């Protein structure tokens, strides 16, 4: 869903140029969706049986 505005801008570029004051409004929503997805994934606990990646100890 977050890539829809970018696809819209590319596929319908003339529409985006004519109605620029209206079509840009979907960008903050798309960026918010991406940010929430990253935050939700970071907050999710690790899957059982899967070790966390750690840096090697010297």
CB under 8 Å to 15, separation ≥6 — which residues?
23
Give tens-digit pLDDT for 17-30.
Answer: 888 777 778 788 88
Pairwise pLDDT comparison (45 vs 34), residue with the higher score: 34
**pLDDT category of residue 51 using cuts at 50, 70 and 90:** low
Q: What's the whole-model pTM score? A: 0.54
- pLDDT > 70 in the chain, percent: 79
- Report d(CA 13, CA 5) in Å as an integer: 11
pLDDT of amino acid 9: 81
DSSP secondary structure, the chain, as one string: -TTHHHHHHHHTHHHHHHTHHHHTTHHHHHHHHHHHHHHHHHHSPPPTT-PPP-PPP-
Helix axes 4-11, 26-43, angle to 10 degrees: 150
* Mean of pLDDT over the chain: 78
């Amino acid at each position: 869903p977050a890539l829809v505005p970018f696809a819209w801008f590319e596929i319908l570029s003339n529409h985006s140029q004519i109605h620029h004051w209206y079509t840009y409004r979907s960008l903050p929503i798309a960026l918010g969706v991406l940010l929430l997805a990253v935050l939700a994934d970071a907050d999710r606990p690790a899957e059982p049986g899967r070790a966390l990646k750690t840096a090697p100890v010297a």
